[in-house]
């Protein structure tokens, strides 16, 4: 499993897809000014979520990689309201870029990213967390939503 692409790879591919489709095939502008500038706020929030969650992983000295066993169950910071704040952050950045671009096709990248995380990474991570932390993780899972 070490050669499998990690979530940031999917993020960057989806970012390229978002911008590429917008410039190659901009179906329709749906986000007029000044509303498209809400994208900047989404990008800032998404970047903060990723930065903060990464800091917490480092402070707890546990892995951020989905296929490696965690040594700590994190429930602080953004993990209080999202079990996967880094995926949420990346999705918000992609959505923010899509808002800034404003076309229908720019929304394809964020949608694909969310679907890929939900199918490829989240089930594996949550299963590993259940095996590692048992009832403690199940209680956390019942209290905190997956995305928001």
Domain boundaries, the chain: 7-64+73-143
Task: Note whether 64 and 51 are within 8 A (CB).
Answer: no
Residue 25 has pLDDT above 80, yes or no: yes
Prediction pTM value? 0.95
Between the alpha carbon of residue 68 and those of residues 1, 35, 132, 138, 144, the distances in Å are 9, 40, 11, 19, 22
Which pair of structure tokens corresponds to residue 139?
A: 């209680």
| Digit-coded pLDDT (tens) for 93-132 | 999 999 999 999 999 999 999 999 999 999 999 999 999 9
Helices and strands: H and E segment counts in the chain: 6, 0
Task: Note whether 122 and 84 are within 8 A (CB).
Answer: yes
């Amino acid at each position: 499993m070490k050669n499998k692409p990690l979530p940031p790879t999917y993020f960057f591919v989806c970012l390229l897809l978002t911008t590429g489709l917008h410039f190659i095939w901009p179906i329709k502008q749906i986000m007029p000014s000044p509303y498209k500038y809400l994208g900047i706020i989404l990008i800032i929030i998404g970047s903060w979520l990723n930065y903060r969650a990464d800091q917490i992983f480092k402070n707890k000295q546990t892995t951020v990689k989905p296929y490696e066993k965690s040594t700590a169950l994190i429930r602080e910071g953004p993990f209080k309201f999202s079990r996967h704040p880094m995926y949420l952050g990346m999705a918000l950045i992609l959505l923010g870029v899509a808002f800034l671009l404003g076309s229908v096709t720019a929304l394809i990248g964020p949608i694909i990213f969310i679907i890929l995380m939900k199918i490829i990474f989240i089930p594996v991570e949550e299963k590993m967390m259940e095996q590692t932390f048992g009832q403690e993780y199940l209680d956390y899972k019942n209290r905190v939503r997956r995305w928001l």
